[in-house]
Amino acid sequence: MSETAENTLEPFGFQRDTDYAKITEPFKGCLLKRKPLAEHLTRYIDRLQVGAVLALDARWGEGKTWFVQNWKAYLEQTEKPHNVIYLNAFTQDYLEDPFMVLAAEISHAFDTANDEHPLIQSFKDQAINATKALLPELPKLMLSLGITLMGAGYLGKTLENAVSTAQDAINTTKETYGDEVFDGINETINENIQEAIKERFEKHETDKQTLESFKQSLSTLAANKDLNPKPLVFIIDELDRCNPLFSVRLIERIKHFFDIPNIVFVLVTDKTQLQATICHQFGYNEAASEAYLDKFVDFSIKLERPKNIDRKDEYLQIFSTTLTNLGFSDEEVIRYQYFGLIFSTISNTSIRQIKKILNRFSLLYLKNEIKDVALLYKLFFPNLDNQIPLFMHMIYDFSRYFDKNLVTANSDEIEKFIKEKLFSFEENFQEYRSTENNRYIESTFRNNVSQATGHFFMRLLTTNYSYLKMVHFNLSTSHIDSFWHELSITPVNLPLELNTTWSAYINTGLKE
């Protein structure tokens, strides 16, 4: 990869995870100008006298991970560096209880500073005791039951079926060995269960004290200015991707056991998805899930694009970098980045989704300048209405790029726009003529995009013009400009077949 490609890759979050460790100049080249937000957050955290849980909210693919990784590097490079932990929660959601993960990450963060400090060792000991106290009793009961039945050879199924296995074993024992043996086993099981429950009651106060000792140990550690000169920042990413139970339990564990001064948690998530997770877990409606989440999160920050940022440079850079990394030549990059600029702007596609589309474009690429523009268009707009030809959809969406008043429309509205706004039928001449709006868009295209894009747009105008004439005067398809055949992935007889043949190719990769 060229140095230019590598540098331009950074502001859009396209690095592999290992690349984030190489950040030497946080937010370098960030077109979204998000460094001021990082500075505001840092000042806010440094002023805090209490613990806090913040939520950094943005939809999938909008650069959340890139932002927090650069912010992490920024925090670590301040005059008095912060202890910063970054945790990808999705990689840990196979665990039943996230408490141990949270405690271990904090312990490791302080270990790197001074692993022999007595406060650190005390915290480790208290964390181990707290983990034991939080261990559910069910595994202990199942173990007791299992030991009793193991000798008879009945513990052969997975834990999920253990209860039903135990019941079957008890019934079989009674039928095979009679009431006397059964009563002996049953009495042993009952005694073990009762003993475990009794022990749990007796341990309740001890466990409560253990958990309080853990919080006190953590509080003392976090307050030590030698070990923690600035508030520790614990960033938890990918929370919305975790299984519902783990996500909810992690948030609860943070609030119940880690909410202390000098530790700030930052939950990086798509809040809408996280609320849907809570709905799934508890059966709440949307309002109730939001209220539930608000109990644990002090406030949310929407990671939005600044309103004054022109996305043209951003999109051109994304396409240039990604196409280069996918092996396209410089000439191909120049050609397709402007088409990508138009399609991604009007579809408001996220950065991550653009990358996915371009990977699929690379897979299906035909090395045909006309057909590949149609392919790219269909990848951005896969669900087009088949009531009008593909080239009518395309001319409308091309027009939307420069006419901000145009919005997503159905086939009838698109056809009406083309007939009335791009062309108009003059009865006196029995002819369609270009409108002033048509000439404005044409001129704007010529002056604001690449030559190849402008030429393609002109061919679309000619094709739509000839198609309108064909329909109006009931002519054969031979009267349509030949460009429509060039747009097709396979030979078709009717313009309306263009869209369906492209859909078939994208789904199968085959030219049927």
Tens of pLDDT, residues 58-106 = 887 778 898 999 999 999 998 888 899 999 999 998 888 899 899 999 9
State how far the Cα of 166 lies from the Cα of 159, in Å rounded to an integer: 11
Question: Strands 84-88, 232-237: parallel, antiparallel or unpaired by DSSP?
Answer: parallel
Q: What's the pTM?
A: 0.62
Q: Model confidence at 138, in pLDDT bands (50, 70, 90)?
A: very low
| Residues paired with residue 97 on neighbouring β-strands, in sequence order | none
List pLDDT tens digits, range 158-189.
434 544 555 565 566 556 655 655 555 566 66
What pLDDT is attached to residue 131? 83
Structure tokens at 4: 């230019």
State how far the Cα of 426 lies from the Cα of 433, in Å rounded to an integer: 7
Say which residue, 223 or 450, is predicted with more confidence: 223
Q: Do residues 296 and 252 make contact, with C-beta atoms less than 8 angstroms apart?
A: yes
Q: What are phi and psi of 247, to 5 degrees?
A: -60, -50
Domain with CATH 3.40.50.300 in the chain: 32-117+227-302
What pLDDT is attached to residue 401? 86
List pLDDT tens digits, range 189-237.
666 666 666 666 666 677 788 888 999 999 999 999 888 889 999 999 9
Contacts of 363-366 with C-beta under 8 Å, sequence gap 24+, read 363/509, 364/505, 364/506, 364/509, 366/489
Q: Model confidence at 340, in pLDDT bands (50, 70, 90)?
A: very high
State how far the Cα of 45 lies from the Cα of 32, in Å rounded to an integer: 22
Rg of the chain on CA atoms, in Å: 32
What pLDDT is attached to residue 319? 92
What is the Cα 10 distance to its own chain's centre? 18
What pLDDT is attached to residue 95? 84
Q: Is residue 4 predicted with pLDDT exceeding 60? A: no
Q: Which helix (H) or strand (E) holds 302?
A: strand 299-302
Mean pLDDT, range 327-331, rounded to an integer: 94
Is domain 32-117+227-302 given the CATH code 3.40.50.300 in the classification?
yes
Q: Is residue 316 predicted with pLDDT exceeding 50? A: yes
Across all residues in the chain, what is the average pLDDT? 81
Q: Is residue 152 predicted with pLDDT exceeding 50? A: no
List pLDDT tens digits, range 103-135.
999 988 887 656 678 888 888 888 888 888 876
